[in-house]
């Protein structure tokens, strides 16, 4: 119908729409969602784009159905996505756990707003960061990517699909209302220039195939519904055949694998940006929109002669533990401005060497940090307080 229905070129584009375009570019052809501010534009864009591409758009009755639906679609072999905000994620968490347990590749977008509860629907926050890591019950490894601009929202949506396909799990894309509703220049390259990773399908015959058998990378090969493999998948603790097994031995093989398949690949998954890290006394660690709003404070600190470094996390989970550990041996301390009352700063504290100071610059969301507050914290750390 539309031979050239891919969007290529330079655009002045909203973050949410860039996310939808990123999903399309990554090959997403199934979207299930439920309207919620500030993520609705993603669903609206998908509703426009997917019919043109013979894809499936379905507006489900709630967020619980949305996540269940994209897991089902994933099993039919589709690259699938849902997009929501904090309250929707809270509803989805049980089935996010199912996705982790079944190892179903998909992408869950959280355009964060201020919480708790209904909180600030039209305004922003970063207070769902720990929820993304620990939201669903039980132990599992997880991946969260945090964009700070519409361009990066596009880029990281592609990356999120790649990670979900490669490591077989639901991947979180933790944007916020500012990035989602911001309109900026977005460059969409031809698909040929993008790195697109697809899940590894098994080459074994159905009779030899074990759905949860794995190799050194700890990631099982996939077989989709309708291909004659006829295997079982469950949210219960299961053996390599996918059959429920309530033994300690089985639990002890499965759950650590779910954690380690991410942990062992942290070098591949962890995306960071560094500036002036070498020889710095103070390192500011930031992510998402905060990494842009605090920049003037860094310039001010530099003018005051403070040796300041800057580490931006594009991947927040898995947390770059080793990197922080090593950096902490060389610096006086870290300053962590974030739009919550202390979440990622706790991780930095956990990983930092005993002698280094970790200073949180909190913000409850709905506004941006005052430069002076960030500058003050930088100065305090520089002076060893």
Partner 1 sequence: MANNTAQLQEKPHPMEDILRMDRMPHIWCSGCGLGSAVTSFVEGLKKAGVSYDKTAIVSGIGCTGRVAGYLRLDSYHTTHGRAIPFATGLKLANRDLTVVVFSGDGDLFAIGGNHLIHAARRNVDINVICVNNFIYGMTGGQNAPTTPLGAYSSTAPFGNYEMPFNLVGLAAASGASYVARWTTMHARRLTDSIATAAKKKGFCFIEIVSPCPTVFARKNKGGTGLDMLKEFQTRAIIDHDADPTKIPLNMDNEIVCGEFVNEDRPTFWENVQSGIKSRVEKFTDWEEMQSNSKKIHHKTFLKYTASRES
**Residues making contact with partner 1 (CB under 8 A):** 1-2, 4-5, 7-13, 29-30, 32, 51-52, 56, 58, 60-62, 64-66, 68-78, 80, 94-95, 98, 102, 185, 224-236, 241, 243-244
What does DSSP assign to residue 148?
S
Cβ-based nearer residue to partner 1, 99 or 365: 99
- CA distances for 214 relative to 122, 209, 211, 218, angstroms: 44, 11, 9, 5
Could you tell me the smallest distance in angstroms from the CB atom of residue 185 to partner 1? 7
Could you tell me the smallest distance in angstroms from the CB atom of residue 8 to partner 1? 8
Could you tell me the smallest distance in angstroms from the CB atom of residue 6 to partner 1? 8
Report the side by side order of strands in the sheet with 333-338.
272-275, 308-313, 282-287, 333-338, 357-362
**Continuous H helices in 103-182:** 129-134, 150-167, 177-181
Cβ-based nearer residue to partner 1, 225 or 255: 225
Could you tell me the smallest distance in angstroms from the CB atom of residue 142 to partner 1? 18
**Is 228 in contact with 206 (CB distance < 8 Å)?**
yes
Residues 6+ away with beta carbon under 8 Å from 60? 32, 33, 34, 66, 69
CA distance 60 to 174: 22
Cβ-based nearer residue to partner 1, 230 or 325: 230
Could you tell me the smallest distance in angstroms from the CB atom of residue 65 to partner 1? 4
- CA distances for 139 relative to 24, 98, 149, 254, angstroms: 31, 12, 31, 10
First to last CA, the chain: 65
Cβ-based nearer residue to partner 1, 54 or 118: 54
Could you tell me the smallest distance in angstroms from the CB atom of residue 198 to partner 1? 15
Residues 6+ away with beta carbon under 8 Å from 238? 212, 232, 244, 245, 250, 254
What count of Cα atoms within 13 Å lies in the side-chain half-sphere of residue 205? Answer: 2
CA distance 229 to 76: 12
Could you tell me the smallest distance in angstroms from the CB atom of residue 368 to partner 1? 18
Cβ-based nearer residue to partner 1, 1 or 279: 1
What does DSSP assign to residue 244?
B
Which of these, 13, 238, 206, 2, lies nearest to 103 by C-alpha position?
238
Cβ-based nearer residue to partner 1, 189 or 384: 189
Could you tell me the smallest distance in angstroms from the CB atom of residue 52 to partner 1? 6
Could you tell me the smallest distance in angstroms from the CB atom of residue 166 to partner 1? 20
**Is 257 in contact with 214 (CB distance < 8 Å)?**
yes
Name the burial class of residue 59, with classes exposed (0-12), middle (13-18) and buried (19+) by CB atoms within 10 angstroms of its CB. middle
Sign of the Cα pseudo-torsion (153, 122, 49, 61, in order): positive
Could you tell me the smallest distance in angstroms from the CB atom of residue 2 to partner 1? 5
The answer, yes or no, to whether the previous bond of 277 is cis (omega within 30 of 0) is no
Residue 360: enclosing H or E segment and its boundaries? strand 357-362
């Amino acid at each position: 119908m539309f031979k050239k229905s891919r969007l290529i070129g330079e655009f002045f584009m909203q973050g949410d729409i860039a996310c939808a375009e990123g999903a399309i570019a990554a090959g997403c052809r199934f979207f299930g969602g439920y309207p919620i501010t500030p993520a609705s534009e993603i669903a609206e864009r998908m509703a426009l784009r997917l019919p043109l591409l013979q894809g499936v758009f379905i507006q489900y009755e709630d967020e619980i159905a949305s996540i269940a639906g994209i897991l089902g679609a994933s099993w039919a072999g589709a690259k699938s996505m849902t997009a929501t905000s904090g309250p929707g994620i809270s509803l989805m968490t049980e089935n996010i756990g199912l996705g982790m347990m079944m190892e179903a590749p998909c992408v869950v977008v959280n355009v964060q707003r201020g919480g708790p509860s209904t909180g600030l629907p039209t305004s922003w926050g970063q207070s769902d960061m720990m929820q993304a890591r620990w939201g669903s019950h039980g132990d599992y490894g997880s991946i969260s990517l945090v964009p700070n601009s519409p361009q990066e929202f596009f880029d990281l949506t592609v990356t999120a699909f790649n990670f979900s396909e490669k490591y077989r799990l639901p991947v979180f894309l933790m944007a916020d209302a500012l990035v989602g509703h911001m309109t900026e220049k977005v460059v969409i390259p031809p698909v040929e220039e993008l790195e697109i990773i697809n899940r590894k399908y098994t080459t074994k015959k159905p009779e030899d195939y074990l759905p949860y058998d794995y190799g050194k990378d700890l990631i099982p090969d996939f077989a989709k519904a309708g291909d004659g493999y006829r295997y079982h998948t469950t949210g219960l603790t299961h053996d390599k055949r996918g059959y429920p097994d309530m033994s300690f031995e089985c639990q002890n093989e499965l759950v650590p694998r779910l954690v380690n398949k991410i942990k062992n690949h942290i070098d591949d998954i962890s995306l960071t940006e560094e500036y002036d890290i070498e020889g710095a006394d103070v390192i500011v660690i930031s992510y998402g929109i905060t990494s842009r709003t605090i920049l003037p404070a860094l310039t001010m600190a530099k003018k005051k002669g403070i040796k300041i470094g800057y580490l931006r996390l594009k991947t927040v989970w898995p947390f770059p533990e080793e990197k922080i550990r090593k950096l902490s041996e060389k610096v006086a301390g870290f300053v962590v401005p974030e739009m919550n009352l202390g979440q990622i700063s706790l991780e930095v504290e956990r990983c930092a060497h005993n002698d280094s100071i970790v200073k949180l610059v909190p913000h409850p969301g709905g506004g941006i940090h005052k430069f002076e507050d960030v500058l003050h914290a930088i100065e305090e750390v520089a002076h060893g307080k």
